[in-house]
Amino acid sequence: MDLRKNTLLNGALYLLALIGTCIAQMHGLHTLEFICKPLLMIILSSWFFFNSRRVGDRFTLLVQAGLLFSLIGDVALMFTYVDDFNFLVGLGAFFLAQLCYAFAFAQNIADVGGGMEGILVPLVIAFGIGTCAFFFTWDLVPHLEEGLGVPVFAYVIALTLMGMLAAFRYRRTYPRSFWLVLVGALLIIFSDGALAWDRFRLPLRWSSLWIMVPYAIGQFMIAAGALAHVLDPDNLLRREAMTT
């Protein structure tokens, strides 16, 4: 068995890296954080790559790019204690990550098609995401530091778009893939909301847990959901039929 593809092994390593990151952030152990936090996306990206490389389509490449930009964002945010400009760098990297995920979900929707079938459910979910994003941003804007209004607003748009397009995968993928990706997207939205609240509004008790745990679980669910979409036996047989 290829250990690089093994879900149990990589999941255990991912969990250890998450625990190490949370402990490091709670106790200000920068060296431990420098080791553990980047490992999260390195492990997840490696596991996703070696499981999806036999497919190698635009959808998987966009998800892979999202994981890469998330790694860059994680690294940048580790150094905000050195220079606050790194927050903007991290925000920019995560902006690109959310766009990559959004484009991947849009690619899935375009590939499958389906017209207006089952449109009510994703419309309701998307409306809920958009409404929450609007009111949260409306409350947050007066508390933003000077010069952060436009970057934060742009990021909220990208994040909201990602969540909405995850919802519109309804009936355009397998149920397991849909729910994994949608819940993962919602967890990332929650994590980013907690990060913004902790930084700009009121400091959260156990902020590293509120931010890192939903973030890490959300990223893992998106990657797992993407794999469930492309590695389903029916999907693989259909791909093989199209290439013969």
Is there a contact between 189 and 159 (Cβ–Cβ < 8 Å)?
A: yes
pLDDT at 242: 38
pLDDT at 214: 98
At 183-228, the pLDDT tens digits run: 999 999 999 999 999 999 888 888 999 999 999 999 999 999 999 9
Q: Work out the angle between the directed axes of helices 175-196 and 149-167 (0-180°, nearest 10).
A: 160
Closest CA to 140 of 130, 129, 152, 128: 152
pLDDT at 235: 57
pLDDT at 232: 72
Residues of the chain with pLDDT under 50: 236-237, 239-244
pLDDT at 15: 98
d(CA 57, CA 103): 13
* Structural domain boundaries in the chain: 59-243
At 9-28, the pLDDT tens digits run: 999 999 999 999 999 999 99
d(CA 229, CA 223): 10
At 194-204, the pLDDT tens digits run: 999 999 988 88
SS3 annotation, the chain? CCCCCCHHHHHHHHHHHHHHHHHHHHHCCHHHHHHHHHHHHHHHHHHHHHHHCCCCCHHHHHHHHHHHHHHHHHHHHHCCCCCCHHHHHHHHHHHHHHHHHHHHHHHHHHHHCCCCCCCHHHHHHHHHHHHHHHHHHHHHHHHCCCCCHHHHHHHHHHHHHHHHHHHCCCCCCCHHHHHHHHHHHHHHHHHHHHHHHHHHHCCCCCHHHHHHHHHHHHHHHHHHHHHHHHCCHHHHHHHHHHHC
